[in-house]
Chain A
Amino acid sequence: MKRPVEGTAHPRSGARRVWAARELGVLLALALLVAVTAADNSRFLSAQSIRDVLLSASILMVLAVGQTVVVVTRNIDLSVGSVLGLTAFATGKLFVAAPGTPILLAVLAGVGLGALCGLLNGALVAAARVPALVITLGTLYVLRGIDHSWASGEQINAADMPRSFLDLGTATLLGVPVLALLAAAVLVVVAVWLSSYRSGRELYAIGSEPAAARLAGIAVGRRVFTAFLVSGALAGLAGVLHAARYGTVDATVGTGLELQVVAAVVVGGVAIFGGSGTAWGAALGALLLATIGSSLAVLRVDPFWQQAVVGALILAAIGLDRLLAARMAARAVRSQGRAREGTSHGA
């Protein structure tokens, strides 16, 4: 009765290996792209050029990290482009109305406004029991509409904003753009939260199997709500950063950006059906997309091709995903085959 019973042979940490494989793939693609571009034009690796790439990646990275938090719960936030546009314009308006506003206060105001939008999304998703895709598609248009009617054609220029605020967009610390440092800080905080804290892991549990999450006593509604709140707040932060970096803000800022964000997340290996993927991967995805933008310009590739390349990358990422899944399934079948052989002799 106490005899030890042997289990099926298991590959060690299969899960970890898959995660690593996803992020490694993106990193590899990035390295390849940089190598090819640098071989063509060595100035691509100059400090200034790298700074430019990091600057253009930072805002997308903040959005992608926020999106990851939502996507791992098997939801999606399509309104981030509109939230970014709205907060960018609001930040400009704030400086026009009160030129002396401290920068920190402006940042907090932007984050707060974004969080408010996230709260709206989260509440609607929780209350309406309608897929987040539809809800956030609605808020995408609603928020953009509010933005347009508020701006009514007005454009806020760099001259309307304080010098110190605009410096935020170009300043460097030890040669690294402050914007990129901010994005990295956001990335580290969110990535550690997602991987190492109970509330973060519960987001994965919800995305992996909602029914089991409820059985495990997880407050599913509250956690999903929190995810939208985080995504909204980070989109708000991204809006402030956008205003600081570009200096010119009107009501069209960030139009269509949500698709780039989703692309970065998917390319970074975050499963669109939830449950797996990391903030690191999404950030790498954002970095890859930004690098493609500048490297294609260096390679003098027709900018129209850029979109086709991004599309191909998404398909490649999904293809890699399927390949890994198929290999896992094959392994499972093999081990079950072994179990069945055991049956025929043992029964």
Chain B
Amino acid sequence: MSGPAAASPLLHLRDVAKSFGPVAAVKGVSFALHAGRVHALAGENGAGKSTVVKMLAGVHRPDSGGLELEGRPISPDGPAAAQAAGIAVIHQEPTLFPDLPVAENIFMGRQPTGRFGRIDRGAMNEAAGRLFARLGVAIDPDRQARGLSIADQQLVEIAKALSRRAKVFVMDEPTAALSGVEATRLFAVIRGLTERGAAVLFISHRFDEIFSLCDDITVMRDGAWVSTDRVADVTVDTVVRRMVGREVSALFPKQDVEPGDVVLDVRGLTRTGVFEDVSLTVRRGEIVALAGLVGAGRSEVVRAVFGIDRYESGDVRVGGRLLPPGSPAAAMAQGIALVPEDRRQQGLVMELSVERNATLTRLRPLARFGLLSGRGERRAATDLARRLHVRHGGLGDAVGTLSGGNQQKLVLAKWLATSPQVLILDEPTRGIDVGTKAEVHRIMSGLAAEDMAVLMVSSELPEVLGMADRVLVMREGRITAELPGSRATEESVMFAATGQPGAGA
């Protein structure tokens, strides 16, 4: 196998730069994509990855530098032109026509026609079926696109790109919303694409994916190119260091705290088929991690504790007082806050402004005679945003315009506004970049130091090991191990999570 530099590249970015007003989003980035290879693009949010993707997609034109496809310079002036040139961008959440059949989604505007120019549905469905067969997936071409899982929607997009004879596939965080099985299936599809001579640019925040799937890796920081290597030649440590530009040890700034009284006391919580006999305690100033594999029932437990889901037996006490089951309002009143995993759907109202979202959880204390005072709301929001270093254009901007990391911090802000005694975090750093992760960790640590009890569900072992005072491991709905933070290791946690010795993540 030849190195990245040896073969002639399929797509070459040459010294591309792009500025928006005074802000240089991308400054002089060069790298090459080769046929048959998967190239990872790594970097924190705001490092300029999205801008690079948009230049490839034809959405932005580079201010200087340019693209070369198979040695010929191209300058797509729109998404349609980029597609025609053979560059396909697969977005995290594709935009399909929900009302139309899958086959028509693939061939819209290019449907095979028969006599008198009529669309030949049989031929169209057959062609779509052949595309899916090439990808090794089973999707009915005749079914409506509405109701397809995100994973299947991405496959429809890939099939569409194949039908347009795309040579370069750009995948912008495709796995962020996928389950483990779906991601594995996508990787099989990606390998199939490269075997047939396509080049893939793969963007992900998950290092395990980058290291198992990709051949080459380019790191960007602050809009600039940092390095391009073969994945085999680098380690996670070196990549992270290049992404953040500082030492990795600063990632988990856990302060040592002497735990106080038990605040959250859960005993024998059971919901048949989901979780069974779950007992746990969290003390003041303590961070407790709930570790385990996806599907072990961790999220379900914390949702039940907060009262979103019902449970059949067991009880939950906060500061010694029994919590009525199935009532989030009661849980909030007694000082529990839950930051959900899916912040877009459950945590924030994307169309509302930053300040409205931040104060949404405590409208009552801010209201006078039942009416909200705009000034009080603004003051409270400003205070919270400053405390958490939320980077925003203005407090009046819609939340949807913030980056993922800042959205997560805002969800935190929203719940901290209720001054909870117990803070439950479900996957607090999923899908956010390394730098923001460190900030979320710093905030968590600071809250524990302020005597808050923190219960965290996390699938990221480094986070569990770096942040938790105590680690509880769940497997198939039961707690299988309780380890003090100092004694928990990757091996011991994985053993308890899988029931097998040292299989590794």
Do A347 and B294 have beta carbons less than 8 Å apart? yes
- The yes or no answer to B152 lying at the interface (CB within 8 A) is yes
Please tell me if A300 contacts chain B, counting CB pairs below 8 Å.
Answer: no
CB closest chain-A residue, reference B101:
A15
B188 nearest in chain A by CB position: A5
B99 and A276 contact, CB distance less than 8 A: yes
Q: Is B277 an interface residue (CB 8 A)?
A: no
Q: Does B147 contact A (CB under 8 A)?
A: yes
Interface residues on A, range: 35 or more
Interface of B is mostly: loop
Asked whether B98 lies within 8 Å of A16 as measured between CB atoms, the reply is no
Most buried by A among B83, B96, B181: B181
Flag whether A204 is at the interface (Cβ < 8 A): yes
Are B295 and A212 within 8 A (Cβ)?
A: no
The 8 A CB mask of A166-202 against B (1 = contact, 0 = none) is 0000000000000000000000000010001110011
Measured between C-beta atoms, what is the minimum distance from B151 to chain A in Å? 8
Judge whether B139 and A7 touch: CB under 8 Å: yes
Number of interface residues of B (CB under 8 A): 48
Tell me whether A201 and B111 are in contact (CB under 8 A): yes
- Report if A153 contacts B (CB, 8 A): no
A47 to B195, CA, bound (A): 69
Please choose the segment from B10-18, B113-121, B412-420 that sits at the chain A interface, where 4 or more of its residues have CB less than 8 A away.
B113-121
A333's nearest neighbour on chain B, judged by CB, is: B147
**Complex contact B143–A14 (CB within 8 A):** yes
Taking a contact as CB atoms under 8 Å apart, the answer to whether B109 and A1 are in contact is no
Instruction: Flag if A10 contacts B140 (CB, 8 Å).
Output: yes
Residues of B within 8 A of A3 (CB): 136, 188
Contact, CB under 8 Å: A8 / B143? no
Q: In the complex, what residues of B have CB within 8 A of residue A205's CB? A: 97, 100, 104, 108-109
Kindly state the separation between the CA atoms of A4 and B135 in the bound complex, as whole angstroms.
9
The answer to whether A7 and B152 have CB atoms under 8 Å apart is: yes
Q: CB-CB < 8 A to A204: which residues of B?
A: 97, 99-100
Complex Cα spacing A104 to B295, Å: 71
Cβ-defined contact, B180 with A346, below 8 A: yes
**Is B229 positioned at the interface, with any CB of A under 8 Å from its CB?**
no
Does the CB pair B109–A217 fall under 8 Å? yes
Residue B138 at the chain A interface, CB threshold 8 Å: yes
Interface set, chain A 204-256, CB cutoff 8 A to B: 204-205, 207-209, 211-218
Chain B CB within 8 A of A46 CB: no
B152 touches A271 (CB 8 A): no
**A7 partner residues in chain B, CB cutoff 8 A:** 137-139, 152, 155
| CB-CB contacts below 8 Å: B128-168 with A | 136-140, 142-144, 146-149, 152, 155
Cβ–Cβ < 8 Å partners of B404 in chain A: none
A209 touches B95 (CB 8 A): yes
Q: A4-B136, A328-B147 given as contacts; is B179 within 8 A of A201 (CB)?
A: no
Q: List 28 A-B contacts (CB under 8 A).
A: A3-B188, A5-B136, A5-B138, A7-B152, A10-B143, A15-B100, A196-B118, A197-B119, A201-B104, A205-B100, A207-B99, A208-B99, A208-B100, A209-B96, A214-B79, A215-B95, A216-B108, A217-B109, A275-B98, A275-B99, A328-B147, A339-B149, A339-B182, A340-B295, A342-B179, A343-B179, A346-B181, A347-B180
Q: Give 8 closest A-B pairs by Cβ, nearest first.
A: A344-B295, A15-B144, A275-B99, A332-B147, A7-B138, A208-B97, A212-B95, A347-B180
Chain B interface residues (CB < 8 Å from chain A): 79-80, 83, 95-101, 104, 108-109, 111, 113, 117-119, 136-140, 142-144, 146-149, 152, 155, 179-182, 184-185, 188-189, 191-192, 195, 293-296, 476
Interface residues of A (CB under 8 A from B): 1-8, 10-16, 18, 192, 196-198, 201-202, 204-205, 207-209, 211-218, 271, 274-276, 328-329, 331-332, 335-336, 339-347
